[in-house]
Amino acid sequence: MPDDQRVTLKVGFAEQLRDIEVQLPAGEPKPWDARSELKVVGKPHPRVEAPLKVSGAAKYTHDIVPPNALWAAVLRSPHPCAVVESIDVAPAQSQPGVSAVLALVKPGERVIFAGQDIAAVAAKTPEQAEAALRAIAVGYKTEPFVVDTAAAMQDGAPLVHRGKVTERSTEGDEPGAGGSAGQRGNVRTSPSMKKGDAKKGLRMAKVSHEATYTTQVHTHSALETHSIVVQWDGPKQATVWCSTQGIFSVRDEFAEVFELKPADVHVHTDFLGGGFGAKFGASAPGSRMGFIAGELARKAGAPVRLLLDRKEEHLCTGNRPDSRQHVKIGASADGKLTAIHVVAHGSAGIGTGAGVGRNAFGIYSRCPNVLVESHDVFTHAGPGTAMRAPGHPQGAFALELAIDELAKKLKIDPLDLRLSHDEHPVRRHQFELGRKQFGWDAGRKQAAALRDKQARVRRGFGVAASIWGDFGRGKAVVATVSVLRDGSVEVKNGLQDIGGGITTVVAQVVAEVLQRPVEAVRVRLGDSELGPSVGSGGSVTTASVTPAVRAAAEGVKTQLTALAAKQLGRKPEEVTWSEGQARAGSKSIAWAELCKKIEGEAVVATGTRPETYGAYPVKFMGGNSYQIAGVQFAEVRVDTWTGVVGVERVLAVHDCGKVMNPLTARSQVQGGVILGTSYALTEQRVMDRVRGVMLNPNLETYKIAGARDVPREIDVVFTPVDTGANNTGAIGIGEPSTIPTAAAIACAVHDALGVAVRDLPLTPDRVLAALGAVPTRGGG
């Protein structure tokens, strides 16, 4: 076999296909491209693990109870900022049922958000653990604090950090994001994104628009709370069950904390109840859960379960930071953008990572002058962390609404304004496709007519764009495929299925290669001993895992082909496969018969994924990854008497490379739209600015969209693209699908009212205020 291979791939989208040459590393299967005729991949297939989930048999970390396991509970700071003067955990030790007690702060230490770890206990029952926490005595000296982002930016605001701030980065972060360009007070400046001269561009503009847009803190609120179960198997060996998006990140952090060899930490995540970016590592972003559970288990000499409750989940496990984005945007009189300038401040609480993504910088690329300056503002609140497309929904909201406000001044259709500045051919195709399918032009006219006659119930139409990169990781995954003598097929990898459906897609890929029914492929995931894999963050899972799985399956197939050739008395290159039979000339051998001839127990091959080798037709931010395109259209209904916004329709047009499983991919996009709708309309962390605590750490006043709050219709359209990135053609969709939703809805509300609501969420109070219906204080 030659070391390298040059192959021709047919790539592109819709009618725009072309041949390109790519260099493949040795042993890499020829990528599936636009010429490939696939029978299983690309066809809808129900989730293979669904029977376990609908029958209650699927075991999540919450459900794991090793023999004699104890229940852990954590005492948390009630104060947003205080110095611990004294702490006495001894009274807890003597409480009924208590086996271990742990102080997590020392006298003299400062706690800097309400919800921070103070002490922990392990007891036989949850009630005993709670009672033991009540017995712990802590003396605090409270200090000034600030939880409001704007207030924290002021000179003289109480300082959150008194030393250098270290970033906590996870696999959920957008690659390339992060870093600092200096810090002053609570404001830490991030590296800016710059093209041309935005200030000059604004001076040249004939028509311009300037406004401040704000977005709220959004908590991940995965239904399964952060949870970890630790069982020590020896002084230096542990088994850990964790509700995680990254099994190996748990293994590595746990090993580091307890000074173990990573191989001696065995991590299981058979199922997890959602993550959305907050579940990486053995700990939560704002709670040292791995250490707490591990140390309590070690002290108690028994396994420990640490399952956070809903309040803790809101306080200390991460969130999407808020933002205040001051946008200046200018254009020539005929509607050519001359500059976009965004100055963003956002608070990730005590943490970092409050940027606003690549929207302003990357989407409307015909604008010659762009400057995006962003700043983290520290506040005394739980740390933010990556959340489904970190930064981007915030950035999309401010940018797209500003574009609509400018289009109104220019008297240009906002979709036309977008089309004339977006150079991504796939996104342009998506805009055009959506314009027809959504009934954009007629809809805008209808909205204008209702607006003109000041109708009680208005309609509005909006559109917004998505930008993300294909961050599929090379050399990270090792998958193993085995075919056993009994004909059964097994695929193994230390991956977790966060709910996106990767288990099914892995089975489909193996089924495609080996020509077996999907049901005949046993997929084993969720275990750190099943081979290296990636975390489910950055929308990389399918793009990183399926090529390795395919490579392994092809390796097995090569061996089986040789075996068949031997059985049929031919050369391997004469053997062809169809419908699960190996054929050569007039002879054939059935799968079951062939497998019986396997020497030893099984034919086994491993596969890896090389680095991404193509990125057609548009690269993301100058790197070697494809820029994933998507657009969403929204139609809203606004009751001007009550201010209530309802989303009637969303059309989501997305590209996720080669669609592996249209059924689960569609669900994932629908989920992105629903998360985005919830962000647009109802969700908001509310902090009491006087007392510095969260007022709605529950699922009642922290308002997640329910069945009646989602768009009445969600249409999902895929525009498949062959990018030549990897051997299955898969790229991600989880994050891109939630980026433009809130922006499109906000633009639609602007269309309905004729005035913009520049603050998320778009709640009735804000809609009524935008309409001028709310008396100002003292004037009512």
Write out the binding residues for other proteins, residues 659-698 only, by CB under 8 A.
663-664, 666-668, 670-675, 681-682, 686-691, 693, 695-696, 698
Quick check: 717 binds other proteins (CB under 8 A)? no
Say if residue 761 is preceded by a cis peptide, omega within 30 of 0: yes
Q: Does 226 bind other proteins (CB under 8 A)?
A: no
With binding defined as CB under 8 A, does residue 699 bind other proteins? yes
Residue 710 DSSP class: S
Stretches 14-22, 45-53, 95-103, 613-621: which one binds other proteins (CB under 8 A)? 45-53
For 476-502, letters b (16+ CB in 10 Å) and e give bbbbbbbbeeebebbbbbbbbbbbbbb
CB of 488: closest distance to other proteins in angstroms? 21
Compute φ and ψ for 640, nearest 5 degrees.
-80, -10
Residue 585 sits in the site that holds other proteins (CB under 8 A)? no
Could you give the C-alpha distances from 289 to 118, 233, 467, 496, 528, in angstroms and in order?
A: 12, 19, 34, 20, 19
Site for other proteins, residues 622 to 641, rule: CB under 8 A: 639-641
> What's the min distance (Å) between Cβ of 642 and other proteins?
5
Q: How far is the CB of 673 from other proteins (least distance, A)?
A: 7
Q: Which of 87, 177, 272, 725 binds other proteins (CB under 8 A)?
A: 272
Measured between alpha carbons, how far is 27 from 329 in angstroms, rounded to an integer? 50
**Interacting span for other proteins (CB under 8 A) from 121-129, 409-417, 571-579, 613-621:** 121-129
Say how far apart CA 674 and CA 463 lie, in whole Å.
16
Q: Which of residues 77-116 bind other proteins (CB under 8 A)?
A: 78, 114
* Ranges within 279-308 binding other proteins (CB under 8 A): 307
Q: What binding mask, one character per residue, do residues 196-225 give for other proteins by CB under 8 A, x or -?
A: -------------------------xxxxx
User: Could you tell me the smallest distance in angstroms from the CB atom of residue 555 to other proteins?
Assistant: 31
Interface region with other proteins, contact rule CB under 8 A, candidates 44-52, 155-163, 576-584, 615-623 = 44-52
Question: ∠ CA(356), CA(337), CA(681), 5° rounding?
Answer: 40
Nearer to other proteins, 437 or 701 (CB): 701
Segment interacting with other proteins, rule: CB under 8 A, options 149-157, 266-274, 392-400, 743-751: 266-274
- Kindly tell me which of 17 and 449 has the beta carbon lying closer to other proteins: 449
Give per-residue burial for 537-556: e unless 16+ CB within 10 Å, then b. Answer: bbbbbbbbbbbbbbbbbbbb
Residue 277 within binding range of other proteins, rule CB under 8 A:
no
Three-state DSSP state, 323? strand
Which residue stretch of 50-58, 283-291, 467-475, 539-547 sits at the interface with other proteins (rule: CB under 8 A)?
50-58
Q: Least CB distance from residue 690 to other proteins, whole Å?
A: 5
Nearer to other proteins, 221 or 528 (CB): 221
Provide, rounded to whole angstroms, the least separation between the CB of residue 38 and other proteins. Answer: 20
Q: Put residue 594 in one of left, alpha, beta given phi > 0 → left and psi -120 to 50 → alpha.
A: alpha
Min dist. Cβ of residue 157 to other proteins (A): 19
Q: End-to-end alpha-carbon separation of the chain, Å?
A: 83
Q: At what angle do helices 741-753 and 392-410 cross, to 10 degrees?
A: 30
CB of 104 to other proteins, least distance (A): 18
Interface pick for other proteins out of 498, 505, 530, 721 (rule CB under 8 A): 498
- Cα(594)–Cα(423) distance, integer angstroms: 53
Count of residues interacting with other proteins (CB under 8 A)? 96
User: Counting contacts by CB under 8 A, is residue 273 touching other proteins?
Assistant: yes
50 binds other proteins (CB under 8 A): yes
Per CB under 8 A, which of residues 143..172 are in contact with other proteins?
none
Own/partner long-range contacts of 281-284 (Cβ < 8 Å, ≥24 apart): 281/170, 281/244, 281/246, 281/249, 281/250, 281/253, 282/228, 282/240, 282/242, 282/249, 282/250, 282/253, 282/254, 282/257, 283/253, 284/226, 284/308, 284/316, 284/317, 284/318
Closer by beta carbon to other proteins, 55 or else 166: 55
Residue 202 tokens, joined: 């604004």
For residue 51, what are the CA distances in angstroms to 47, 55, 206, 354, 523? 8, 6, 61, 40, 14
> Is position 126 an interface residue for other proteins (rule: CB under 8 A)?
yes
- 708 makes contact with other proteins (CB under 8 A): yes
E-state strands within 450-488: 457-469, 478-484
CA distance 70 to 696: 29
Reading the block at residue 760, the tokens are 């998320």
Q: Under the criterion CB under 8 A, does residue 274 sit at the interface with other proteins?
A: yes
Q: Which range in 124-132, 183-191, 507-515, 577-585 contacts other proteins by CB under 8 A?
A: 124-132
Nearer to other proteins, 48 or 87 (CB): 48
375-394 mask for other proteins (x: CB under 8 A)? --------------------
Q: Applying CB under 8 A, which of residues 27, 30, 36, 60 lies at the interface with other proteins?
A: 60
Instruction: Report the residue from 1, 6, 15, 56 that binds other proteins according to the rule CB under 8 A.
Output: 56
Nearest to 554 by CA among 515, 588, 524: 515
Decide the pairing of beta strands 16-24 and 193-195.
unpaired
Give me the least distance between CB of 274 and other proteins, in Å please: 4
Q: Which amino acid is at 317?
A: T
Binding to other proteins by residue 777, rule CB under 8 A?
yes
Q: Which of residues 171-190 bind other proteins (CB under 8 A)?
A: none
Residue 75 or residue 402: which is nearer to other proteins going by CB?
A: 75
CB atoms within 10 A of CB 271: 23
Please choose, from the candidates 665, 648, 638, 654, the residue with its C-alpha nearest in 3D space to the C-alpha of residue 762.
Answer: 638
CB atoms within 10 A of CB 15: 6
Residues in 394-453 at the binding interface with other proteins, rule: CB under 8 A:
453
x/- map, 638-657, other proteins, by CB under 8 A: -xxxxxx-x-----------
What is the Cα–Cα distance from 72 to 121, expressed in whole angstroms? 6
65 binds other proteins (CB under 8 A): yes
| 517 scored as a contact of other proteins (CB under 8 A) | no
Options 5-13, 321-329, 588-596, 658-666: segment touching other proteins (CB under 8 A): 658-666
Which of 518, 522, 520 is CA-nearest to residue 592?
520
Q: Does 63 bind other proteins (CB under 8 A)?
A: yes
What secondary structure letter does DSSP report for 80? S
d(CA 358, CA 399): 10
**Residue whose CB is less far from other proteins, 140 or 577:** 140
Q: Which helix (H) or strand (E) holds 281?
A: none
Q: Report which secondary-structure segment, H or E, holds 163.
A: none
